[in-house]
Amino acid sequence: GAGVSQSPSNKVTEKGKDVELRCDPISGHTALYWYRQSLGQGLEFLIYFQGNSAPDKSGLPSDRFSAERTGGSVSTLTIQRTQQEDSAVYLCASSLAVGGGYNEQFFGPGTRLTVL
């Protein structure tokens, strides 16, 4: 079956522009997670969704970052007024339900964001 998909695969933007990154989770997965992978910070958690709700936004690095999820499916991560330090690979993962243990997270291929 189809795995987690993300688009675009690569995005190059100019400093100060807004970008939208999209994640399509595995059908039926209620939990969705966003992570960021950068050279300086490694892999870091950004935000997660349980259904359409985001109970924990503590990982978002600044108020320029926001995310939403609609219909319990597609999620969009928006970065406003991009800065060079936002350059990273943004990863999305989904799992059947929220929680660790046996709820395996399946990762997408990532979106590589480059801010010039």
Partner 1 sequence: AQRVTQPEKLLSVFKGAPVELKCNYSYSGSPELFWYVQYSRQRLQLLLRHISRESIKGFTADLNKGETSFHLKKPFAQEEDSAMYYCALGDSWGKLQFGAGTQVVVTP
State the pairing for strand pair 106-107/5-7: unpaired
Residue where the block lists tokens 């399946």:
106
- List the x/- string, 76-115, binding to partner 1 by CB under 8 A: ---------------x-x-x--xxxxxxxxxxxxx-----
| Number of residues in contact with partner 1 under rule CB under 8 A | 29
State the pairing for strand pair 42-50/106-107: unpaired
Residues 43-82 that bind partner 1 (CB under 8 A): 43-45, 48, 50, 55-56, 59
User: Least CB distance from residue 62 to partner 1, whole Å?
Assistant: 19
Q: Compute how many other C-beta atoms are within 10 angstroms of the C-beta atom of residue 6.
A: 21
d(CA 55, CA 51): 10
Residues that bind partner 1 (CB under 8 A): 3, 31, 33, 35, 42-45, 48, 50, 55-56, 59, 91, 93, 95, 98-110
